């Protein structure tokens, strides 16, 4: 009797496991940024493939934290920035190598595909593919400010009227504005630490100019719209959004170079549905789909030909902010080596505590 009961229990468990596995194969668990998986695109993907998409919106810090906590589990596809792949992978092993034979490489802008693969290669294996890209620079109310570079945020005429984030991009931006190349020091922690200390002191001295350190986009956009802020370090699409309402507000590529980022596709180490992940990647890189995602996110994509389907106003704003010289001067984030962010974190804490 016991043996028969055990067999029944085992059979029931196997059926349940099979049903769960079947359900897994019909669901893509996506860890991404807000705006990168618009409802229209998700619904079209499900209609075409039969695969449902569970979307979790996040950011770089949270993505790495979530994947570290589960050793790469809980999601089938993630979208960290390209500089957050090689370091965390080497240190924590939270991603799995990509099977490039499953990718329709012809859908990508070749130069971006090549660069991202190079920057996300660990141990000879590729862990990331490019998706959305953009820049950080300055948003300036040209009627009240003449800022052209990051250091102008600290100029006397902008006292009490600027905003920035107390995050690593601000340290890096001010380093470039000071004529240094922080990326060239990534493999020399001592020299990098000394440079960050130098920049940290400048930013601490700059605190009287800062109306507030922004954490959320709504706070920042409201500050620019109200005239409370004359200049801010922020992302390009935020500036272009503001420009639609007020032509005097423009996104300016700083003289020392805008900071360029690429958000990627990466498969977590314990992802359960690789087939759905590859299907979503190839679907998103189709020009017609990429244009819809770009419209939702407000940024351009690595999809070849999608720019021709973009909003005409956005294309004009991009051309105005990025003449050829500014485009060539973009400082693209390389992979972040282990230990770099700890150095930056200590400096940022001291800036926060400064009076």
On whether both 93 and 167 belong to a single domain, the answer is no
Q: Please state, for a pLDDT cut of 90, what percent of the chain lies above it.
A: 78
Q: Is the pLDDT of residue 9 over 70?
A: no
Q: Is the pLDDT of residue 295 over 90?
A: no
Tens of pLDDT along 84-142? 999 899 999 999 999 999 999 999 999 889 989 999 999 999 999 999 999 999 999 99
Angle at 327 between CA 321 and CA 252, to 5 degrees: 30
On whether both 124 and 269 belong to a single domain, the answer is yes
pLDDT score of 154:
97
| Domain CATH code at residue 190 | 3.40.190.10
On whether both 129 and 17 belong to a single domain, the answer is yes
pLDDT score of 5:
47
On whether both 285 and 182 belong to a single domain, the answer is no
pLDDT score of 18:
44
Give the count of domains, the chain. 2
Beta bridge partners of 259: 136, 331
**Alpha helix segments (H runs only) across 31-183:** 39-49, 60-69, 86-92, 110-119, 168-177
On whether both 209 and 159 belong to a single domain, the answer is yes
On whether both 237 and 270 belong to a single domain, the answer is no
On whether both 155 and 247 belong to a single domain, the answer is yes
pLDDT score of 173:
98
**Sign of the alpha-carbon dihedral angle for 251, 119, 110, 280:** negative
Tens of pLDDT along 188-226? 999 999 999 999 999 999 999 999 999 888 899 999 999
Q: How far is CA 48 from CA 22, 39, 102, 112, in A?
A: 18, 14, 18, 27
Q: Is the pLDDT of residue 13 over 60?
A: no
Domain range enclosing 182: 135-259+330-353
User: Mean pLDDT score of the chain, rounded to an integer?
Assistant: 91
Q: Is the pLDDT of residue 1 over 50?
A: no
Lowest mean pLDDT segment, chosen from 71-75, 135-139, 216-220, 235-239: 216-220
Average confidence (pLDDT) over 258-263? 94
pLDDT score of 309:
86
On whether both 305 and 233 belong to a single domain, the answer is no
Lowest mean pLDDT segment, chosen from 16-30, 231-245, 338-352: 16-30
pLDDT score of 24:
61
DSSP state of 35: T
Q: What is the CA radius of gyration of the chain?
A: 23
Q: Which residues, in sequence order, are CB contacts of 95 under 8 Å at separation 6+?
A: 67, 72, 78, 85, 88, 89, 127, 128, 266, 267, 268, 269
Of residues 72 and 6, which shows the higher confidence score? 72
On whether both 253 and 277 belong to a single domain, the answer is no
On whether both 281 and 316 belong to a single domain, the answer is yes
On whether both 70 and 219 belong to a single domain, the answer is no
Element (H, E) at 213: strand 210-213
On whether both 7 and 121 belong to a single domain, the answer is yes
């Amino acid at each position: 009797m016991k043996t028969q009961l055990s067999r029944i229990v085992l059979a029931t468990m196997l059926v349940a496991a099979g049903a769960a596995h079947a359900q897994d194969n019909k669901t893509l668990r996506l860890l991404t940024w807000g705006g990168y998986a618009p409802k229209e695109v998700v619904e079209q993907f499900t209609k075409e493939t039969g695969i449902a998409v569970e979307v979790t919106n996040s950011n770089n810090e949270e993505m790495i934290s979530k994947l570290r906590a589960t050793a790469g589990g809980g999601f089938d596809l993630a979208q960290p920035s390209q500089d957050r792949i090689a370091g965390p992978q080497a240190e924590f092993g939270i991603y799995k190598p990509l099977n490039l034979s499953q990718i329709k490489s012809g859908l990508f802008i070749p130069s971006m595909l090549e660069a991202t693969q190079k920057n996300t290669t660990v141990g000879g294996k590729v862990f990331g593919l490019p998706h959305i890209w953009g820049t950080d620079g300055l948003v300036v109310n040209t009627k009240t400010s003449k800022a052209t570079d990051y250091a102008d945020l600290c100029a006397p005429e902008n006292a009490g009227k600027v905003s920035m984030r107390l995050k690593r991009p601000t340290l890096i931006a001010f380093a470039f504005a000071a004529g240094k190349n922080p990326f060239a020091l990534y493999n020399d922690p001592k020299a990098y630490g000394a440079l960050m200390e130098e920049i940290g002191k400048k930013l601490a001295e700059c605190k009287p100019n800062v109306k507030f350190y922004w954490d959320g986009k709504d706070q920042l956009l409201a500050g620019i719209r109200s005239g409370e802020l004359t200049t801010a370090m922020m992302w390009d699409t935020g500036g272009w959004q503001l420009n639609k309402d007020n032509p005097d507000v423009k996104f300016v590529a700083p003289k020392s170079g805008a900071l360029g980022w690429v958000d990627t596709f990466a498969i977590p180490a314990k992802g359960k549905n690789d087939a759905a992940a590859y299907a979503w990647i190839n679907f998103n890189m189709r020009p017609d789909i990429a244009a819809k995602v770009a419209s939702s996110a407000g940024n351009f994509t690595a999809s070849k030909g999608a720019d021709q389907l973009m909003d005409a106003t956005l294309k004009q704003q991009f051309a105005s902010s990025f003449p050829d010289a500014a485009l060539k001067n973009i400082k693209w984030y390389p992979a972040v080596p282990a230990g770099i962010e700890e150095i930056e974190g200590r400096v940022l804490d001291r800036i926060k505590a400064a009076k």
